[in-house]
Amino acid sequence: MEMVLQSLVSGLLIGGLYAILGIGMTLIMGVLKIINLAHGQILMVSMYITWTLWYYLGIDPYLSIFISVPVIFFLAEAISKYLLNPLIEKESILPENQVLMTVGIGMVLVELARSIFTSDYRSVRTAYSDKVWHLGKISISFPLFVAFAFSLVLTAAMFYLLMKTDLGRSIRAASQDKIAATLMGISSEKITIFTYGLGSALIAAAGSVFLPVYYLYPDVGPLFTIKAFVITILGGMGSTIGAIAGGLVLGIAETFGATYISQGYRDAFGLFIFLVVLVFLPGGLKRFTKV
């Protein structure tokens, strides 16, 4: 019983983090219609910003969100405006090539990070890094819990933005039917650029809260790009609710698989579910929702 509960708690905590990775990617997927393969690399950049602020200025990783998020937002807007949009606008350039562009952007970011910070592993140590809560026999890591709470708040804020504001409606409109949205007076170029910024800002926040839990090196990104990709497909491309569900499902499936079958096949359980969803539920979990 204790093992079941501990697995459930661990799975949920990790799942929350996965969800926020997935939402960022699914947003970009929905509006730009491309898979952003630089996703994990942007997470890495945000982690380096957080680490630098902590190491040189002593700023708490959680506070550095207020710096890393705007910095990444504007960086991503610039990437989108000057590197992705020119490709998206040309009909003759196939979407595959836009995806390749994101791969290239990712590589440049990794090598830039390597030339500035070298390949050394970095991590932050704070007063709460090693803090643990015990609920009966279940242990909950404090930084992981904070990361989970942050993802909940961010997800809720994201949801509000998408459902209740004009900007959110424009994004949803652009993702549902770009031409119709343009005819209704929405500047699809602006929305595209903004969405890429927004999706990246989300993972920037995830990067800052995740750093106290994990560690950092220039090649940390691809690991999370793959996770985000799996979640996006699981949830149904472009669906926010789907991404949240996908993230939690992935987190819990991995943890239970690791507990009861083998840790060595941890990633395989996630991918197994991924295949099952693709075969039996094409379109992903969003089929159960309307959002």
Partner 1 sequence: MKLGKILSAILALAIILNFNGCSKKETGPIKIGVLLPLTGSKANFGEMEKNSFELAKEKINKAGGINGRQLQFIYEDDTGKPDVGRAGAEKLITVNKVPLITGGYSSSVTFAAAAVAQQYKVPFLVNTGSVDKITEPEAFNLTTKDGDKFYIYRLNPPVSEYASGLETLLSEVVKPKTVFIIHESTAFGTKGAKSFKKSAEKLGIKVLGVQSYSEGTVDFKPLLMNVWKKRPDVIYMISYVMDAAMLMKQARELGVKPKLFVGAGAGFTMPEFKANAGPASERVVSATLWHQTLPIKGAKEYFDNYIKKYGGNGPDYHGAEAYSAALVVADVLKRCNGDYSKENIKKALDATDMMTPFGPVKFTSYGKKIHQNKMRTYVVQWINGELKLVWPKNLANAKFEYPINWNKVWK
Residues that bind partner 1 (CB under 8 A): 3, 6-7, 10, 14, 110-111, 114, 118-121, 123, 125, 129-130, 132, 139, 141, 213-215, 217-219, 223, 254-256, 258-259, 262-264, 266-267
Quote the distance between the C-alpha of residue 149 and its chain's center: 15
Shortest Å, Cβ 9 to partner 1: 9
- Min dist CB 156 to partner 1, Å, is 23
- Measured from the CB atom, the residue of 194 and 210 that comes closer to partner 1 is 210
Residue from 20, 24, 122, 19 nearest 73 by CA: 24
3-state class (DSSP) for residue 170: helix
Which of 122/172 has CB closer to partner 1?
Answer: 122
Of the two residues 201 and 211, which places its CB atom closer to partner 1 in the complex? Answer: 211
Rounded distance, CA 237 to CA 239, Å? 6
Residue written as token pair 């890429």: 196
198 vs 216, beta carbon nearer partner 1: 216
d(CA 173, CA 185): 11
Q: Of 208 and 239, which has the nearer Cβ to partner 1?
A: 208
CB of 146 to partner 1, least distance (A): 14
Of 80, 10, 23, 32, the C-alpha closest to 204 is 23
Residue among 207, 229, 226, 203 nearest 216 (CA): 207
Cβ-Cβ contacts under 8 Å for 80 (sequence gap 6 or more): 32, 192, 193, 196, 197
Nearer residue to partner 1 within complex by CB, 8 or 99: 8
CB of 130 to partner 1, least distance (A): 6
Task: Closer to partner 1 by CB, 88 or 249: give it.
Answer: 249
Enter the DSSP assignment of 290. -
Minimum Å gap between C-beta 19 and partner 1 is 14
Q: Least distance to partner 1 from the beta carbon of 174, Å?
A: 34
Whole-number Cα distances in Å, 131 to 12, 14, 125, 144: 19, 17, 11, 10
> Which amino acid does the sequence have at 158?
M
Q: Which DSSP category does 219 fall into?
A: G
At closest approach, how far in Å is the CB of 225 from partner 1?
Answer: 13
Count the helix, strand and coil residues of the chain and give each as a percent rounded to the nearest 5.
75, 5, 20
